[in-house]
């Protein structure tokens, strides 16, 4: 089926355009919020050519497409305006009620997901610059280094502003006021106060001065408070003065509270979360590596990665490295291994194409959702191979304290973020994860009966 045909078929099976409240896409999935669950034909969706799997329930449906999801999404958007529906690429804020944990992860996803490509590319450039400078291939005092370094560090430096913008979309509030709240935290005048002897205060209240560049929690918390104020005042203020009053409150109330409360508390909580993760890893790196490599590769299936990604970013911001990510990435490499084994064993042309695409995509970019939903949810025996392969690779990188210097996923293209003294151990773990998983899958085979 063409992308246009896939889009039309999916739309029909979720109940048609009139049943779509909103839709957006991530790396591999179409994520629908529907008006009603009854018209959805889940079994037929799963059997549709071009659909790898269907997740979710009720009015929250995720249709796993694979690497061509953006093309299917583009075709889908052409079918929606006739019904008055506006599709959204980023996670839309909705009034849908659901489990608290789901809503938290959905909000985190919506705040951070738009920046994942930038995060990874920033890590790649940072790693390449680090390698080039250590090998004396580039003059660190020259303009070339300065310009590329600025390109790779800008995202992290201005994180409070950027996260404020996407947080505003999640909390359904004014994104321009939100950007002002995040920007105030890194304003040069405010930052300069940290060097004033004897400290400074706001209306007699002492300010705890510290750097908020690259921080995650303070700006998000400030925007969350502004959203609450916005929603409550909008109910009682007349339209003629509403925008003016609410914006003024954001400037003179929310910004000071963010600096006085959310900033210090957020930074302390950030350090606590990062130190907690490092303590768990350091307590027994072998066990941590086995668990991280063997099981954490499945986090994407349940959306749990959105709970850990902010902590990893905090770790890298505070320490300059992270121990957990290399362990976690051994799981995706093991998935790459079973995809290779299926490609070598299978006689089915469709399955061979799927497994080869999954292998190449996972090996080079670290995106393994086509393997997760196209192979592992259908052939249960392969999961044992992934768990054992990932555990072996995770044990190696755990015991050797392998580090990543920037936020990156698995994949050859992301190697620069792992460059450093522990990079050889990362390569060894990767080869073992792929090799063990592939060998086990070749020996054990895979089930012909779908789960």
Helix/strand/coil percent split, the chain, to 5: 70, 5, 25
Here the tokens at position 379 are 């052939």
Q: What are phi and psi of 21, to 5 degrees?
A: -80, -50
* DSSP per position, 119-176: HHHHHHHHHHHHHHHHTT-S-TTSHHHHHHHHHHHHHHHTHHHHHHHHHHHHHTS-HH
CB-based contact 39:46 (threshold 8 Å)? no
Identify whether 26 is a catalytic site residue.
yes
Q: What are phi and psi of 202, to 5 degrees?
A: -120, 110
Q: What span, in angstroms and rounded, lies between the C-alpha atoms of 79 and 56?
A: 23
Which one, of 290, 371, 287, lies nearest residue 336 by Cα? 371
CB-based contact 306:105 (threshold 8 Å)? yes
CB-based contact 371:448 (threshold 8 Å)? no
Q: Parallel, antiparallel, or unpaired for β 200-202 and 205-207?
A: antiparallel
Q: What span, in angstroms and rounded, lies between the C-alpha atoms of 231 and 227?
A: 6
Here the tokens at position 389 are 């392969």
Active site residues: 26
């Amino acid at each position: 089926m063409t992308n246009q045909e896939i889009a039309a078929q999916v739309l029909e099976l979720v109940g048609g355009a009139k049943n779509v409240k909103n839709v957006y896409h991530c790396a591999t999935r179409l994520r629908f919020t529907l008006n009603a669950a009854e018209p959805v034909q889940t079994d037929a969706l799963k059997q549709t050519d071009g659909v790898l799997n269907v997740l979710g329930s009720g009015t929250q449906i995720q249709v796993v497409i694979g690497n061509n999801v953006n093309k299917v999404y583009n075709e889908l958007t052409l079918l929606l305006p006739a019904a008055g529906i506006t599709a959204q690429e980023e996670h839309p804020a909705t009034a849908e009620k659901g489990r608290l944990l789901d809503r938290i992860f959905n909000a985190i996803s919506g705040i951070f997901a738009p920046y994942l490509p930038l995060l990874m590319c920033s890590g790649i450039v940072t790693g390449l610059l680090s390698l080039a400078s250590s090998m004396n291939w580039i003059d660190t005092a020259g303009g070339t280094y300065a310009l590329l370094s600025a390109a790779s560090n800008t995202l992290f430096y201005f994180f409070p502003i950027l996260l404020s913008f996407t947080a505003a979309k999640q909390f359904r509030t004014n994104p321009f006021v939100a950007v002002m709240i995040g920007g105030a935290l890194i304003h040069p005048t405010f930052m300069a106060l940290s060097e004033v002897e004897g400290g400074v205060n706001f209306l007699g209240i002492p300010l705890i001065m510290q750097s908020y560049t690259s921080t995650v929690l303070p700006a998000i918390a400030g925007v969350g408070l502004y959203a609450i104020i916005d929603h409550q005042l909008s109910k009682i203020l007349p339209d003629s003065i509403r925008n003016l009053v609410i914006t003024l409150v954001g400037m003179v109330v929310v910004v000071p509270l963010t600096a006085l409360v959310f900033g210090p508390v957020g930074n302390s909580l950030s350090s606590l979360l990062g130190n907690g993760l490092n303590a768990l890893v350091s307590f027994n790196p072998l066990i941590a590596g086995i668990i991280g490599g063997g099981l954490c590769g499945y986090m994407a299936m349940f959306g749990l990665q959105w709970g850990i990604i902010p902590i990893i970013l905090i770790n890298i911001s505070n320490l300059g490295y992270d121990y957990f990510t290399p362990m976690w990435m051994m799981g995706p490499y093991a998935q790459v291994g079973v995809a290779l084994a299926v490609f070598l064993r299978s006689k089915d042309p469709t399955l061979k194409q799927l497994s080869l695409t999954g292998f190449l995509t996972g090996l080079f970019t670290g995106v393994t959702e086509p393997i997760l939903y196209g192979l592992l949810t259908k052939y249960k025996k392969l999961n044992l191979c992934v768990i054992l392969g990932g555990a072996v690779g995770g044990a190696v990188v755990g015991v050797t304290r392998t580090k990543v210097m920037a936020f990156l996923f698995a994949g050859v293209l992301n190697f620069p973020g792992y460059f450093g003294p522990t990079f050889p151990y990362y390569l060894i773990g990767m080869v073992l994860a792929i090799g063990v998983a592939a060998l086990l899958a070749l020996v054990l085979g895979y089930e012909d009966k779908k789960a």
